[in-house]
Amino acid sequence: MYTNVAYLYNSVSVVKDLTVPFLVTSCGYYRVNDGPTIKTNRPKGRRDYQLLYIAEGKASFFFNGIEQIVSKGHMILFRPYEPQSYFYYPKDQCEVFWVHFTGNEVDKVLSACAFPTDKNFFYSGISADYQWLFSQMIQEMQLRRANYKSLLTMLLQHVFLLADRSLREGERGGADALNDIKRATRYFNEHYNTPINIEEYAESLHMSPCWFIRRFKQVVKVTPMQYILSLRMANAKTLLETKDYNVTETANAVGYENALYFSRLFSKHVGMSPSEYKKLHAEP
């Protein structure tokens, strides 16, 4: 087993502070792949709030006496005085991040999110962003540099916002699909100036090209090729606004070998030719 934990006042005591709007009081990480079972049993709950994120494997939680296996990509939210009973078994290879927080505006912040109120757990998606944010919280609390309390609040609220987005957008097709679209947009942003075959890209990820194109448009509001075109035109305008790139060089820089074809696309997209755009934005 591996642990990495941090406490606000170097104490494991439960902190409930309603004199401040929002305060992160402790956070940590457990990786349980050997050793004894990690057991938590708090019949009367705690006085603060607790959020857990299952990053790998799974864990056993009991809600109203019924066991629920909570797997990778799920979050568990306990409010004050809610009973807590859960187990991390080594065989389940669980990796979990957790954070405790308090404050007089916590309910207001949580109510703005789409977190379910009829159960304690929900699927928030699988994202390295969560792990980075939790790790940053742990580090901030351990190092205690200037403004660390404010940064802790911002980092946790960032977690809330990502989870809220996943829940809201997941209604249109699932958080796993959304992660695929996020990965695609990141790839297109980095490779827009190279030849991209949408069908081959989708198949490389073992997805149906038709499904991928339909899902991409549903989330991003444009097709993948329209998205790539917008990236190329936006960067072309930036290059044309400088004195260093002529039309042919700009075309090549954004992924077009044929400057005439690029000019036609640019005119259709922008409403004027690349030469006219460059002349319009030329320095006096």
Q: Does domain 2-169 have CATH number 2.60.120.280?
A: yes
Architecture of domain 172-284: Orthogonal Bundle (1.10)
- Report the relative pairing of strands 49-56 and 121-123 from DSSP bridges: unpaired
The pTM is what? 0.64
Stretch 142-167: mean pLDDT: 94
Average pLDDT estimate for 9-31:
89
> What does the pLDDT average to over 74-81?
96
Instruction: Decide if pLDDT at 171 tops 50.
Output: no
| Measured distance CA(248)–CA(276) in Å, rounded | 14
Question: How many angstroms separate the CA atoms of 93 and 33, rounded?
Answer: 5
| Both structure tokens of 210 | 């038709």
- Where are the CATH 2.60.120.280 domain residues in the chain? 2-169
Tell me the two tokens of residue 25: 């009081």
Provide the mean pLDDT of the chain: 90
Q: Is the pLDDT of residue 284 over 60?
A: no
pLDDT, one tens digit per residue, over 107-137 is 999 999 999 988 999 988 888 899 999 999 9
Res. 168: pLDDT tops 90? no
* pLDDT tens-place string over residues 92-101: 999 999 999 9
pLDDT in tens, 222-258: 999 999 999 999 999 999 988 788 999 999 999 999 9
Between CA 142 and CA 134 the distance in angstroms is 12
Q: For the chain, what's the residue count?
A: 284
What are the residue ranges of CATH 1.10.10.60 in the chain? 172-284
Tokens of 267: 């005119």
